[in-house]
Structure 1
C-alpha cells in the first residue's frame, strides 16, 4: 500500500508506516503525478483535493489532518468511491491559545484589561465554542453569532452579526469558508461591514482568510486607522498582501492551530480513520505520540495582578509576537510566498496551555479560577 503524506504532517511514519509505504511530499508539490499510484493520501489545508488531482488515480482514501475541509471536493470523492476523513477539533485548543495570547498582548500595548472588553465570536463550532467557554470563565462578556446553529437549536443565546458589530469591542471570526447556500461566509466582513466597525474595535481572524474582504480592511486600516487587526489567515495565501500585513497589529502565517499537540491529534485522528477503512485495529494511542512538554511546571507567588499572571503563564507556553516577527523576517529574506510557507514548514516546537502545570504559592491562591479558566492545570502550593 502506497500512502502519500504532506511533509508537514508529524509522526507520519509512526502512524502510517505500519500500514504501508509512506511517501512524504511538500503539500504544494502533491499533484496528479504524485498520487496516481497512491492508495491513500494524507494532506493539510494547502493541498487542493479536486478533480485535477484525483481523477485517474487508484486512491481509495483521503484524509485531511485539519478542522476545515473547504480545500477538499467531498462530493467528487464520494462519486469516485473514495473515502474521506478530516480531523474536526484537532487544533481547536491551540487556536484558542492563539486568540488569548493575541488579546493579552494587545491589552498590554493599549492599556486595557481583557475582562473590560466585550467579545463577539462569529462561528461557535469546535474553536468558537471553546473560546466562548474560556472567555466566560475569565469573566469576559461575550456575544455569539452562528446562524446555522441558531437555525438548528433556536435563537436563544445567539445574536446576528450586526448586533456584534454594533455592541462588541473585539470581533473574532472562526467560521468555515462557504461560497454558496443560505449561510455564505465568503467576504462575510465585506466593505460595508468593515466600514461599520466602531473605532477602537479589534478584528481578529483565525478562521479563513477569504471571510474578510482584505482590500476593504486594508483601506480602513490605511485610512482612518482607528481599528486594530489581528490576522492569521489571508486571501491569496501564501502570496499575501504585504500592505495589509504591515498594517495588521499582529500578522502571522496561518499558524494559530500549529501546536504540536494539535498536529499530532490530527495525525492520530486520520490514522484511526484509515485503520477503520482497512478493517485493522488502531495500535497506537495519542499518548504514545505526545512527548513530555519542555516546561512542565511554573510556580507563582503573590504580588501579581490577574492580568499579569495570565500574560506570564500564556507567554511561558506561547508568545504570539514570536510568530509575528518571524513572518516579517522570513518574508523579507525569502519573499512573500516562500517566506510564508517557510514559517509554516519550519515552525518551532509549540505546546498548548493545558500542558503547563501552575503551582500557586502563598498569596496567589485567588488566581486558581482565573488560570484554570484560561486552560492551565492549576494546583495549590
Structure 2
C-alpha cells in the first residue's frame, strides 16, 4: 500500500466538481484535452500512478497491463461496464478494479423508452421535416407511426436496468416479457407482470419490440446474430442502450435494408464510433451518440462513487464497488 497522497491519473475530463474533489484528496493528473489516450500514453500513465481512473473508451488488455509496472494498484472505472478491462489479468497482477454500478439505471431506462417512442412514432422524421421547412401542414396519413400500448416488449437482460425499463413499459400499457441468464424472483415477476422465456429464440420471434439490456461478455457477443434477427417479425423494432457488441451490426443493417425489421433505435455500436455507413442512411433507424447515461446527476453520482472507491482503497480497505472475474 502506498503511503502519503496517492498519485492518480484520470484518462478523460470529468465534471468540474468531481475533478475539484479529486484534486483536494489526491495528487492528480488530468486530461485537459479530453481526447482518447493512445496506448503508449496509457502505458506511461499506468507506470507512473497508483490509481488509474479509466472510462469505457480505454481498452486495457493483457498486453497493456503487462506494461503497467509494479506501482499501479487500482483501476477505478468511471462507469458500470468493465468490458474494456481485462479484469482477470489485472487481478493476477495484483491490481484491483472498481466500477460505479447502479448509478445510471433510471437514466438508461429513460433513454430506452425514448428510443422506443422515437422509432415507433417516427419522431426524428418529424423533426427533420420541421428543421428543413418542408412540412406542408397536417395530413391524415402523414408520419403515421404505431401505438405502443398493448405491444409485446421483450427485454433481453433483466438486471437493474431491464427491470427499470419494465416498470416504465408497464406504465405505457405494454406487455412485458423477458429472457435472462437466470429467472428473476417470483415477487419481481409479479410486481412487473413479466413473462419469462427460457428460450431466447422463442421470445424474439413473438415480440413487437426487443430491448437489449444485458452487458457485453463473451457469452453475449452477437447474442442477437443474423439467425435470431431473422426470427423477429417484419413489423418488429429493436432498441439497444446496453453494448453494441450484443447485436451483429452488419446483419442488423442487412435486415433493416431488406425490410425484415420495421426499425431500430441504437445508442451503442459494435465498433464504437465506426458505425456502418449504410446504417446511417436508413430512415427507420434512430442513432444516438452513446448518451443513455448522460445526465448531470448521473455523472456526478458516478464521480462520487469513483472517489469513495479510491478513498476506501487509500485507507487500506477493499473498495466497495470492487469487480472480480466471477461477477462477469
TM-score in same-fold range (> 0.5): yes
1:24-43 equivalences under 5 Å are: 24-25=30-31, 26=34, 28-29=36-37, 30-43=41-54
1:225 Cα offset (Å): 5.5
> Once superposed, which parts of structure 1, at least 4 consecutive aligned residues long, lie more than 4 Å away?
152-157
1:226 Cα offset (Å): 4.1
2:9–2:53: 8 Å Cα contact kept in structure 1?
A: yes
Pairing 1:118–2:152 present: yes
Q: 1:219 matched to which residue of 2?
A: 254
The CA distance in 1 between the partners of 2:35 and 2:18, in whole Å, is: 14
Deviation track 1:3-22 (CA, whole Å, cap 9, x = no partner) reads 11132322332331122122
1:57 Cα offset (Å): 5.0
Pick aligned residue for 1:245 from 267, 270, 280: 280
Pairing 1:162–2:197 present: no
Deviation track 1:66-93 (CA, whole Å, cap 9, x = no partner) reads 1211111111121122221111122121
1:179-198 equivalences under 5 Å are: 179=218, 184-198=219-233
1:1-381 equivalences under 5 Å are: 1-10=6-15, 11-25=17-31, 26=34, 28-29=36-37, 30-54=41-65, 55-109=68-122, 110-147=144-181, 149-150=182-183, 157-159=195-197, 160-179=199-218, 184-224=219-259, 226-247=261-282, 249-279=285-315
- SS of the residue corresponding to residue 13 of structure 1 reads helix
**Equivalent residue pairs, number:** 275
TM-score normalised per structure 2: 0.78
- SS of the residue corresponding to residue 304 of structure 2 reads helix
Deviation track 1:201-240 (CA, whole Å, cap 9, x = no partner) reads 1110111111111111111111225420111111211222
2:233–2:260: 8 Å Cα contact kept in structure 1?
A: no
Q: Which runs of 5+ in 2 are unaligned?
A: 1-5, 123-143, 190-194, 318-328
- SS of the residue corresponding to residue 36 of structure 2 reads helix
1:33 Cα offset (Å): 1.3
- SS of the residue corresponding to residue 149 of structure 2 reads helix
> Which structure's residues are more often helix, by fraction?
1
For the aligned residue pairs, the C-alpha RMSD in angstroms reads: 2.2
Deviation track 1:101-147 (CA, whole Å, cap 9, x = no partner) reads 22222343343232232111000112111111222233321101102
The CA distance in 2 between the partners of 1:215 and 1:188, in whole Å, is: 13
1:164–1:171: 8 Å Cα contact kept in structure 2?
A: no
The CA distance in 2 between the partners of 1:116 and 1:44, in whole Å, is: 39
The CA distance in 1 between the partners of 2:165 and 2:44, in whole Å, is: 41
TM-score normalised per structure 1: 0.67
Q: Which runs of 5+ in 1 are unaligned?
A: 282-381
2:225–2:247: 8 Å Cα contact kept in structure 1?
A: yes
Distance of aligned partners of 1:197 and 1:263 in 2 relative to their CA distance in 1, 3 Å threshold? same
1:27 Cα offset (Å): 6.0
1:88–1:126: 8 Å Cα contact kept in structure 2?
A: no
1:202–1:227: 8 Å Cα contact kept in structure 2?
A: yes
1:123–1:145: 8 Å Cα contact kept in structure 2?
A: yes
1:263 Cα offset (Å): 1.4
Q: 2:128 matched to which residue of 1?
A: none
The CA distance in 1 between the partners of 2:239 and 2:306, in whole Å, is: 29
The CA distance in 2 between the partners of 1:212 and 1:222, in whole Å, is: 16
The CA distance in 2 between the partners of 1:42 and 1:4, in whole Å, is: 6
1:66–1:266: 8 Å Cα contact kept in structure 2?
A: yes
1:153 Cα offset (Å): 5.3
